[in-house]
Structure 1
Amino acid sequence: MSETTTISVAGDASYDILVGRGLLADLGSALPPGARKVLVVHPPTLAAEAAKLRESLMGEREVLLAEIPDAEQGKRIEVAAFCWQVLGQADFTRTDVVVGFGGGAVTDLAGFVAATWLRGIEVVQVPTTVLGMVDAAVGGKTGVNTAEGKNLVGAFWAPRIVLCDLDVLDSLSANERVAGFAEVVKAGFIWAPEILDLIEADPEAAVDPRSPAFRRCIELAIEMKARVVGEDLREAGLREILNYGHTVGHAIEHAERYRWRHGAAISVGMMFAAELSRLAGRLSDEGVQRHRDILTTLGLPTTYRGGAWPQLLATIKRDKKTRGAMLRFIVLDDIARPTVLQAPDESLLFAAYQEIAG
Structure 2
Amino acid sequence: MEQLSIKTSTHDYPVVIDQGLRFKLKSFINKDYPSVYIMTDSNVAPLYLDDVYNTLKDQFHVTYSIIPAGEESKSSRVYFDLMTQLIEAGVDRDGLIIALGGGMIGDLAGFVAATYLRGVDFIQMPTTILAHDSSVGGKVAINHPLGKNLIGAFYPPVAVIYDVETLQTIPFREIRSGYAEIAKHSMIHTPPFWDQIKSVTLDESLSETTLIRDLIHGINVKANIVEMDEREANIRQFLNFGHTLGHAIESELGYGKMTHGEAVAIGMLFAMELSEQHFSVSLPVDAFYDWMKRNNYPLNLPRLSVNRLMERMKRDKKTKNATIKMVLLKALGEPILVDMEDVSLRQQLESFLEKMVIR
Counterparts in 2 of 1:199-348, with a 5 A limit?
199-204=197-202, 208=206, 210-258=207-255, 259-284=257-282, 286-348=283-345
Aligned residue for 1:319, secondary structure, equals coil
* Matching of residues 34-45 of structure 1 within 5 Å: 34-45=32-43
DSSP-derived class of the 2:130 partner:
helix
Q: Is the 8 A contact 1:142 1:155 kept in 2?
A: yes
Matches within 5 A, 1:1-358: 4-12=1-9, 13-48=11-46, 49-133=48-132, 135-191=133-189, 195-204=193-202, 208=206, 210-258=207-255, 259-284=257-282, 286-357=283-354, 358=357
| 1:307-334 Cα shifts (integer Å, max 9, x gaps) | 5211111111111100122210000001
* 1:17-39 residue CA offsets vs partner (Å, 9 max, x unmatched): 11111111121222341212011
- Whichever residue aligns with residue 330 of structure 1, its letter is V
The structural deviation recorded for 1:63 is 0.5
How far the C-alpha of 1:206 sits from its partner, in A, is: 10
What SS class does the counterpart of residue 227 from structure 2 fall into? helix
User: Which residue type is aligned with residue 114 of structure 2?
Assistant: A
- 253 and 84 in structure 1: CA distance in 2 versus 1, 3 angstrom threshold: same
Measured in 2, the distance between the counterparts of 1:14 and 1:92 equals: 24
Contact 1:178 1:207 in 2 (8 A): no
Q: 2 CA distance for matches of 1:77 and 1:98?
A: 18
Give the drift of 1:282.
4.6
Letter aligned with residue 240 of structure 2: N
Q: Does the 8 Å contact 2:244/2:267 carry over to 1?
A: yes
Q: Distance in 2 between matches of 1:41 and 1:131?
A: 18
Contact 1:206 1:213 (C-alpha < 8 Å) held by counterparts: no
Alpha carbons 1:199, 1:206 under 8 Å: kept: no
Q: Which secondary structure state, in structure 1, belongs to the residue aligned with residue 37 of structure 2?
A: strand
The CA distance in 1 between the partners of 2:194 and 2:44, in whole Å, is 32
Distance 1:353 1:219 in 2: 37
Letter in 1 for 2:162: C
Q: Is the 8 A contact 1:139 1:226 kept in 2?
A: yes
Identity of aligned residues (%): 32
**Contact 1:34–1:96 under 8 Å retained in 2:** no
Assess, with a 3 A threshold, how the Cα gap between structure 1 residues 330 and 349 changes in structure 2: closer, same or farther.
farther
Task: From the superposition, tell whether residues 282 and 62 of structure 1 become closer, same or farther in structure 2 (CA, over 3 Å).
Answer: farther
> What does the per-residue CA deviation read over 1:272-294, in whole Å, with 9 as the maximum and x for residues that have no partner?
1111111212541x432232122
**What is the CA distance between 1:298 and its match in structure 2?**
2.1
Partner deviation per Cα, 1:133-188 (whole Å, 9 max, x = no partner): 2x111110101001111000011100001011110111222222112211111111
- Say which is worse superposed, 104-113 or 275-284, in terms of deviation: 275-284
Provide TM-score, normalisation by structure 2.
0.93
Using the alignment, how far apart are the partners of 1:318 and 1:36 within structure 2?
41
Q: Matched residues in 2 for 1:207 and 1:244: separation? A: 28
Contact 1:282/1:332 (CA < 8 Å) preserved in 2? Answer: no
| Cα pair 2:192 2:333 within 8 Å, conserved | no
1:272 touches 1:353 (CA, 8 Å); kept in 2? Answer: no
Counterparts of 1:309 and 1:17 in 2: how far apart (Å)?
A: 40
Q: Distance in 2 between matches of 1:156 and 1:282?
A: 36
Separation in structure 1 between the aligned mates of residue 197 and residue 140 of structure 2, nearest angstrom: 30
Distance 1:143 1:307, change over 3 A: closer
2 CA distance for matches of 1:334 and 1:220? 20
Q: TM-score, normalised by structure 1?
A: 0.93
Distance 1:183 1:225, change over 3 A: same
TM-aligned CA deviation for residue 193 of structure 1: 6.1
Give per-residue Cα distances to partners, 1:55-103, cap 9 Å, x unaligned.
Answer: 2211231111111121212201111111111211122122210000001
AA aligned opposite 1:168: T
**Partner Cα separation in structure 2 for residue 6 and residue 278 of structure 1:** 38
Q: Structure 1: give runs of 5+ residues left out of the alignment.
A: none
For structure 2, the residue ranges without an aligned partner over 5 or more in a row are: none
Question: Following the alignment from structure 1 to structure 2, what is the Cα–Cα distance between the partners of residues 35 and 225?
Answer: 29
d(CA) in 1 for partners of 2:54 and 2:131? Answer: 24
Aligned-partner Cα distance in 2 for 1:282–1:29:
53
Residue 257 (structure 1) shift:
1.1
